[in-house]
Amino acid sequence: MIDPFGRHITYLRVSVTDRCDFRCVYCMAEDMTFLPKAEVLSLEELERLCTAFVRRGVRKLRMTGGEPLVRKNVMSLFRGLGRHLESGALEELTLTTNGSQLAKYARELADIGVRRVNVSMDTLDATKFRQITRWGDLDQVMRGLDAAQQAGLHIKINAVALRGVNDMEFEELIRFSHGRGIDLVLIEVMPMGEIGGENRLDQYLPLSLARTNIARHFTLTETDYRTGGPARYFKVEETGGRLGFITPLTHNFCESCNRVRLTCTGTLYMCLGQEDAADLRAPLRASDSDELLDKAIDAAIARKPKGHDFMIDRRHTAPAVPRHMSVTGG
């Protein structure tokens, strides 16, 4: 699949549920209204959709949410997609998780063929962790990290950079992550969805500033390491570990975007920061054949935009798009 700007689409991120057992202040409102179950695709339908994308050239699948591991029987979806790893049609099957359920599922994920997981963890302070996630338990996530490493999974910690909240902890997060052989990636706040009383402009920390501050404590050497996603990685010479930066606002990565996002309702978003989307649920359910589905996918990829519209400043404090990150998948 090639979009209008010559980019090969080889990466599909799939939100298997919009539900989550956390309510992170940069992602959700505390009193979220979730999708009616009747609108959500079955796991069998999600597997069929993913398989259609694999057949058309997707080489990497990432399961996201909400929190993907809170969906009932979600491991049946992982098992079904694992066959594409065995056949060689798929290079990688991964997930992004808040870590709350990893202790329960890490071994099974590894047995299926998952090799890497991204864990969202913004602080090492238990009290602050509860404040950021509203409902989360840091000890539970730590047990998940232990279980994942014991199962042989490679972990990357994702931390959203929040001004005045965790920006004084980056040195500690680097030492903690690298001390366990874990990559750390810092991410700029993205202006998606209403989040209640929080102000994203107050939350927003440009990672150019964070990098300057980190460089006062560590020697950062740029690398060409890539995982298929948008992070730019540096080697931290003092620890030997990798530190990544995802900068959709200060330095976007649209020119190399190779991914599209599928929601649990069968809606395909060609860009995280645009509202244009394609309904794949209707053609999926219209026929047992994939002919209509393939045509809908082709038409969607042909509309993939050049870049996103994310912006945060004093004149742009409202969300760039109305949907929450949990709808499209983090």
Annotated binding-site members for GTP: 13, 62, 96, 156, 259-261
Q: How distant is the alpha carbon of residue 136 from its chain centre?
A: 18
Measured in degrees and rounded to the nearest 5, phi and psi for residue 269 equal -100, 120
Relative orientation angle of helices 43-55 and 291-301, to the nearest 10 degrees = 70
Binding residues for [4Fe-4S] cluster: 20, 24, 27, 254, 257, 271
Which run of H or E residues covers position 133? helix 126-133
Binding residues for S-adenosyl-L-methionine: 26, 66, 120, 190
Binding residues: 13, 20, 24, 26-27, 62, 66, 96, 120, 156, 190, 254, 257, 259-261, 271
Torsion from C-alpha of 31, 32, 36, 42, nearest 10 degrees = -130
Cα angle, residue 233 at apex, residues 200 and 161 outer, rounded to 5°: 20
Q: How distant is the alpha carbon of residue 96 from its chain centre?
A: 5
Measured in degrees and rounded to the nearest 5, phi and psi for residue 83 equal -65, -25
Strands (E), 82-182: 92-97, 116-120, 154-160
Measured in degrees and rounded to the nearest 5, phi and psi for residue 132 equal -70, -45
Going from the C-alpha of 3 to that of each of 9, 159, 228, 234, 278, the distances in angstroms are: 7, 30, 17, 30, 14
The pairing of beta strand 267-269 with beta strand 259-262: antiparallel
Which run of H or E residues covers position 248? none
Relative orientation angle of helices 207-214 and 170-179, to the nearest 10 degrees = 70
Helix (H/G/I), strand (E/B), else coil: 245:
strand
